[in-house]
Amino acid sequence: MGNEFDIREYLKSISDPEERARAIHEGGFSGHPDIADMESAAADSGGGPFQQLLAAFQPRTKPISKRALQRMQRRVNASLYRWDKRQHRMIKIKATAPAKTVDATQESAEPAAPDETIEALSVTPKTSPTPKRIFIDQPKKPQAPVPGSVEEGIGRYVYENQAKIWPHLKGEIISRPEWYKPKPAAPVPVGSGPFCPVRKQQRSSDLTGDHVAKLYNAIAFAMWQHGAIMNAHVIILWETMHVHNHETAARLLSEYLNQAKKWATVGKRGEPRQRRRERTGQGFDFRFVYVHENATQRGFHTHILCTVPRDAAKAFETWSRKTLARLARYHEVGRSVRVVASRERGEHAAVVRCWTWFRYMTKQLDPRAGWGFIDEPPHSLRTILKVWPYRVAQPVTCAQLVGGSRDIWTKAQKEAGFASRLRYDLSSIYDGHEMDEWHSRQRLAQFGPLDLG
């Protein structure tokens, strides 16, 4: 056959049109100029699937490569030729003649002729299956799964439970998919028994004017009565810790704040000795206000403004992560809890930072909320307080949206005779006059009234 590979001779040896079409298609010979007539005949004859494939791949813009020809030649040679070690060349395969049957008389009369190998006159080439062509697709951007499908459920479960699946690996193993959104909390069935389920009614998460007024009065009263500035902002993302029930999240928040108040009293004078804690040093009074939100992207979360000394801010953050992980039974809370401590050094700057945080955490104030005096028409409370832009939020099922510690809430304000500037002077609600009045009372208690006579 020579060193050159004859495509026409190889295709002529295939008598079946369907097999010939298959050889042309899988061998990559479609469009070769030497077999144009045979290719058209194979495409027109028969009605098998290979003829259809051949007709589909008929228009080839790229000629057959040399490597494809060499690969096909090797396969054909393997079926028609073999390697002769003595002659060190490829020789054609020869057929062995059948053994002759001789009688005993003939065997004794003349010796048997040695077996001879005669070359076959016509050898039908053996059609071996050609290797299939492998098409390597370019990497494509993953498509979002169908909502509610099995693929979405598996992807959501693996992403949310990656810390449990691979506990020996630290950090985020699988990045957040673009299609992932935290599931909104479903209504919680409540009732006296399993035979009378009553679903908890949902309520709007927008803050009313009374909610925002209570928050403002509590922060202002903490400055006026105790000289305490809310210098720490805590954000808790409950749904990233698999706490989707709003009432459960509110209960866990109450336990966390109660334990934080006990943790802060360690080291105070007059307090009984308690068990050893991670934090050392002097204790402090932990005062706070909080707001629940249910955003579209973050889901149900909580904003807390509290008083934490600058020296204890780092220890408070570490303790908060461990405590919330234990309460929520979710050991990986790196993305779920964030504590931002104020770095302002001056008192006036700290007051400005506190009111900035207040205007941010009250961004869910209802745009319809009004505020004003009796003899004046009501004005927009959002304009008066200059809160952040409004964001559309999802409804909630918890009973309470705002709250604060008892020593700065409404009852303590009434007992101390505190008068908020929201009642009589709306132009100076953020000027920090509460701290000035507290300093004045401290000087009066220390030095007494001045004798002007």
Read off the pLDDT of residues 321-340 as tens digits, 9 standing for 90 and up: 999 999 998 877 878 999 99
Residue 189 has pLDDT above 70, yes or no: no
Q: Does residue 371 contact residue 383 with C-beta atoms inside 8 Å? A: no
Residue 117 has pLDDT above 50, yes or no: no
Segment 160-179, tens digit of pLDDT: 888 778 877 777 778 888 88
Spatial distance between the Cα atoms of 393 and 255, rounded to a whole number of angstroms: 26
Q: How far is CA 73 from CA 123, 253, 364, in A?
A: 17, 76, 76
Residue 276: the pLDDT is 46
Spatial distance between the Cα atoms of 408 and 192, rounded to a whole number of angstroms: 36
Residue 1 has pLDDT above 90, yes or no: no
DSSP 51-90: HHHHHHT---SSPPPHHHHHHHHHHHHHHHEEEETTTTEE
Spatial distance between the Cα atoms of 162 and 332, rounded to a whole number of angstroms: 10
Q: Which of 96-105, 227-236, 328-337 has the highest mean pLDDT?
A: 227-236
Residue 421 has pLDDT above 80, yes or no: yes
Segment 130-163, tens digit of pLDDT: 545 444 445 566 788 888 888 888 888 888 888 7
Residue 360: the pLDDT is 95
Instruction: Kindly give the interhelix angle for 433-447 and 209-226, rounded to the nearest 10 degrees.
Output: 30
- Measure the CA angle with vertex 108, ends 104 and 113; round to 5°: 90
In the chain, what is the greatest distance between 2 CA atoms, to the nearest angstrom? 165
What SS3 class is residue 247? helix
Mean pLDDT of the chain: 77
Residue 249 has pLDDT above 90, yes or no: yes
Q: Does residue 26 contact residue 130 with C-beta atoms inside 8 Å? A: yes
Q: Does residue 152 contact residue 159 with C-beta atoms inside 8 Å? A: no
Confidence of residue 269 (pLDDT cuts 50, 70, 90): low
Token reading at 405:
């510690």
Residue 162: the pLDDT is 83
The answer to which of 47-51, 143-147, 360-364 has the lowest mean pLDDT is 47-51
Residue 65: the pLDDT is 81
Q: How far is CA 345 from CA 225, 351, 352, 353, 356, in A?
A: 21, 11, 12, 11, 16
**Residue 345 or 54, more confident:** 345
Residue 362 has pLDDT above 60, yes or no: yes
Residue 139: the pLDDT is 56
Residue 33 has pLDDT above 80, yes or no: no
**Residue 14 or 57, more confident:** 14
Token reading at 199:
């679903």
Residue 104 has pLDDT above 80, yes or no: no
Segment 378-398, tens digit of pLDDT: 888 999 999 999 988 899 999
Residue 118 has pLDDT above 90, yes or no: no
DSSP label of 330: -
Q: Any residues with CB less than 8 A from the CB of 215 and at least 6 apart, and which?
A: 289, 291, 358, 361, 362, 402, 404
Segment 214-227, tens digit of pLDDT: 999 999 999 999 99
Spatial distance between the Cα atoms of 207 and 290, rounded to a whole number of angstroms: 12
Q: Where are the alpha helices (DSSP H) in 307-420?
A: 313-328, 347-361, 381-385, 410-416
What SS3 class is residue 17? helix
Residue 102: the pLDDT is 46
Spatial distance between the Cα atoms of 286 and 282, rounded to a whole number of angstroms: 13
Residue 106: the pLDDT is 46
Residue 79 has pLDDT above 80, yes or no: no
Q: Where are the alpha helices (DSSP H) in 227-281?
A: 246-264
Token reading at 367:
């745009």
Name the strand (E) or helix (H) holding 304.
strand 299-306
Specify the long-range contacts of residues 160-166, CB closer than 8 Å, at least 24 apart. Answer: 160/242, 163/331, 163/332
Spatial distance between the Cα atoms of 229 and 109, rounded to a whole number of angstroms: 129
Confidence of residue 354 (pLDDT cuts 50, 70, 90): very high
Residue 359 has pLDDT above 90, yes or no: yes
| Buried b or exposed e, range 361-382, using 16+ CB within 10 angstroms | bbbbbbeebebeeeeeeeeebb
Residue 428: the pLDDT is 85
pTM above 0.85, yes or no: no
Q: Does residue 287 contact residue 405 with C-beta atoms inside 8 Å? A: yes
What's the average model confidence in pLDDT over 250-273?
81
Residue 10: the pLDDT is 76
Spatial distance between the Cα atoms of 53 and 26, rounded to a whole number of angstroms: 10
Token reading at 59:
């228009």
Residue 56 has pLDDT above 80, yes or no: no
Residue 451 has pLDDT above 70, yes or no: no
Spatial distance between the Cα atoms of 450 and 453, rounded to a whole number of angstroms: 9
Residue 287: the pLDDT is 95
Spatial distance between the Cα atoms of 161 and 254, rounded to a whole number of angstroms: 26
The domain spans of the chain are 7-99, 149-180, 209-269+279-447
Residue 259: the pLDDT is 94
